[in-house]
Chain A
């Protein structure tokens, strides 16, 4: 085969899987992390630290339930504070996992096979963290079941015209589908672990979760149909869940919230922050567990590109939001915009813009996309900026009301921050457990990739 002529700086794309893998070595590489490798000091240290943070989180929740939401910084006029910020932030992070597992599957993006497993785990854990916050925000969290329409002795239903009720349905559907999707994908891998395991306890443990999977043709036939159907069900959720979250805001007749651009703008922001989180997780994982051959530079590059693409959509949202406020010539809309730009929270506004519009542009440069440390730092910076963005949207729309008489300021208290950090701790605590006890990369899809790569090489 003749050498391909190189034009300029053309660099060949890295493969989706390192060429020296065989189906057997893929199985070993992934399953030994769960079955054979002993606990390492970094894992134990990380687990100890996150366990402490989770304890702090539980303490924060306990004090909150005992004393009430007064321990937070919220009050009139800013009645939505950190809890709603955290909720929107966490639920947004989950979205990248669903996009990877469902939409990229339906679009036959094979490279997703190496990252979908832990991206889905990320979704499940992020939704878990997210779902806690609206419940804690209720004040009387133990009456959370009033949100659900159920036959009761009061003859009462929730207000179905309220987006807050739609929220309950959106999130519970999202969590259920994400969990089922994750578990369905895991069944063949649990069977692999059951067969690879040496101790009787491990074999029974993984055997129960494998649900009698034998890898028969009939099993695979049903499995693939089920997986596709679930992917089809999950696909609209990528768009719908965060749209519903956004109409929690957009339904309110409040300048700064009452905007029809909110659903697409929020969805883009969700996927954007989610991809930042996937990158944050991928880079250390493949380093510590030596998975460079399975999660290659190609994946990192693709994710960075998706981060850039969704980030640009978010930027469009920013600009359109500002443009609409100006174009409406509406006094209160203009005031909210002006207050965001020059008011007491102006620093947050400009920081968000500087990162999400300015720093984001670094991703156009290939060297940045391939440089792991800068990409890792960038992903952390972007996630912080996305948290600040939600904070900015919520606080600046609320704190200066129509009447200057009712203006006020908001600042998070110790308990506010404890729950932010605590939920991050909970997320990583769950993720650390996941990494040790569940195959973090899909084994059978890895084998499939090896098979396809070998076939393609043979054809050439």
Chain B
């Protein structure tokens, strides 16, 4: 009786066992990598807006404070989006005829708000409050990055739950002195851990990792 299988069958058998394991491993790695990529979390992806609004120009060149537009960031859950009237405080005079600002003037004339594309949009099942974070010493740049260097707005952090928990589990690694919260360019001197440990104690910051802290 001739041999049923060619000698190469042994190699094929081994290759299919180890290759199978490899393919399964690769499959899960690809799923993880794709989920963790900007394709899903939009990190570093500038989003198109109805008006080419530049944070870089307004914050860096003009030196406008964050709170001039995002008025409720210290007192409410939502930081606040400026009404068109806020834009028009300057732009009724400055660049009043600029074609780039036509949608702003249209909005002002029609009394309809501009439909900005939300860059930092949390799912509805997450409760988030800006005021408590700002008042406990979480700086704007900790989550939003150097907004003063962004011509168009993009997301700096993933907004994934592991990112939330990285700070909720060890806030001392991220906390900033309150007086520097709105400062785009402040750089601490010395060790973050030393300063963080001191601030955590001083501001009475708790490690809030219960499910219902955010999922209410």
Q: Which residues of A contact B (CB under 8 A)?
A: 150-156, 194, 203-204, 207, 211-212
Check B32 against A151 for contact (C-beta < 8 Å). Answer: yes
Minimum CB distance partner of A156 in chain B: B161
**CA distance in complex: A151, B10 (Å):** 35
Minimum CB distance partner of B10 in chain A: A212
Check A155 against B13 for contact (C-beta < 8 Å). Answer: no
Check B13 against A153 for contact (C-beta < 8 Å). Answer: no
Q: Contacts A212-B10, A212-B13 given: A207-B162 contact, CB under 8 Å?
A: no
Q: Contacts A211-B13, A212-B13 given: A153-B36 contact, CB under 8 Å?
A: yes
**CA distance in complex: A151, B36 (Å):** 12
Least Cβ–Cβ distance between B20 and chain A, in angstroms: 14
Question: Hey, which chain A residues are within 8 Å of B32, CB to CB?
Answer: 151
A-B contact pairs, 7 of them (CB 8 A): A151-B32, A153-B35, A153-B36, A153-B161, A154-B161, A155-B165, A212-B5
**CA distance in complex: A370, B5 (Å):** 48
Question: Hey, which chain B residues are within 8 Å of A155, CB to CB?
Answer: 161-162, 165-166
Question: Hey, which chain B residues are within 8 Å of A203, CB to CB?
Answer: 4
Q: Which residues of B contact A (CB under 8 A)?
A: 4-5, 9-10, 13, 28, 32, 35-36, 158, 160-162, 165-166
Q: Contacts A155-B161, A212-B13 given: A207-B5 contact, CB under 8 Å?
A: yes
Minimum CB distance partner of B160 in chain A: A153
Minimum CB distance partner of B168 in chain A: A155
Question: Hey, which chain A residues are within 8 Å of B166, CB to CB?
Answer: 155
Q: Contacts A204-B4, A207-B4 given: A154-B13 contact, CB under 8 Å?
A: no
Question: Hey, which chain A residues are within 8 Å of B35, CB to CB?
Answer: 153
Least Cβ–Cβ distance between B57 and chain A, in angstroms: 34
Minimum CB distance partner of A150 in chain B: B28
**CA distance in complex: A212, B14 (Å):** 12
Identify 11 new A-B residue pairs, CB closer than 8 A, beyond the known A150-B28, A155-B166, A207-B4: A153-B158, A154-B162, A155-B161, A155-B165, A156-B161, A203-B4, A204-B5, A207-B5, A211-B13, A212-B10, A212-B13
- Interface residue from A153, A194, A211 paired with B162 (Cβ < 8 Å): A153
Question: Hey, which chain A residues are within 8 Å of B161, CB to CB?
Answer: 153-156
Least Cβ–Cβ distance between A212 and chain B, in angstroms: 7
**CA distance in complex: A75, B4 (Å):** 59
Dominant secondary structure at the A interface: loop
Least Cβ–Cβ distance between A371 and chain B, in angstroms: 47
**CA distance in complex: A151, B161 (Å):** 13
Q: In the complex, which of the residues A153, A156, A194, A212 has the most CB atoms of chain B within 10 Å of its own CB atom?
A: A153
Question: Hey, which chain B residues are within 8 Å of A154, CB to CB?
Answer: 160-162, 165
**CA distance in complex: A156, B168 (Å):** 13
**CA distance in complex: A194, B5 (Å):** 12
Question: Hey, which chain B residues are within 8 Å of A194, CB to CB?
Answer: 4
Least Cβ–Cβ distance between A198 and chain B, in angstroms: 12
**CA distance in complex: A48, B146 (Å):** 68
Minimum CB distance partner of A207 in chain B: B4
Question: Hey, which chain A residues are within 8 Å of B10, CB to CB?
Answer: 212
Least Cβ–Cβ distance between A98 and chain B, in angstroms: 25
**CA distance in complex: A155, B32 (Å):** 13
Least Cβ–Cβ distance between B18 and chain A, in angstroms: 15
Question: Hey, which chain B residues are within 8 Å of A204, CB to CB?
Answer: 4-5
Minimum CB distance partner of B12 in chain A: A208
Minimum CB distance partner of B32 in chain A: A151
Least Cβ–Cβ distance between B70 and chain A, in angstroms: 28
Least Cβ–Cβ distance between A209 and chain B, in angstroms: 11
The 7 closest A-B pairs by CB, nearest first: A155-B162, A154-B161, A153-B160, A155-B165, A207-B4, A153-B162, A203-B4
Minimum CB distance partner of A153 in chain B: B160
Question: Hey, which chain B residues are within 8 Å of A153, CB to CB?
Answer: 35-36, 158, 160-162
Least Cβ–Cβ distance between A429 and chain B, in angstroms: 27
**CA distance in complex: A150, B28 (Å):** 10
Q: In the complex, which of the residues A154, A155, A211 has the most CB atoms of chain B within 10 Å of its own CB atom?
A: A155
**CA distance in complex: A150, B25 (Å):** 13
**CA distance in complex: A154, B4 (Å):** 52
**CA distance in complex: A150, B166 (Å):** 18
Least Cβ–Cβ distance between A73 and chain B, in angstroms: 29
Minimum CB distance partner of B162 in chain A: A155
**CA distance in complex: A155, B169 (Å):** 11
Question: Hey, which chain A residues are within 8 Å of B13, CB to CB?
Answer: 211-212
Minimum CB distance partner of B211 in chain A: A156
Minimum CB distance partner of B158 in chain A: A153
**CA distance in complex: A153, B35 (Å):** 8
**CA distance in complex: A204, B9 (Å):** 12
Question: Hey, which chain A residues are within 8 Å of B5, CB to CB?
Answer: 204, 207, 212
Minimum CB distance partner of A200 in chain B: B4
**CA distance in complex: A376, B29 (Å):** 51
Least Cβ–Cβ distance between A406 and chain B, in angstroms: 23
**CA distance in complex: A154, B166 (Å):** 10
Least Cβ–Cβ distance between B166 and chain A, in angstroms: 7
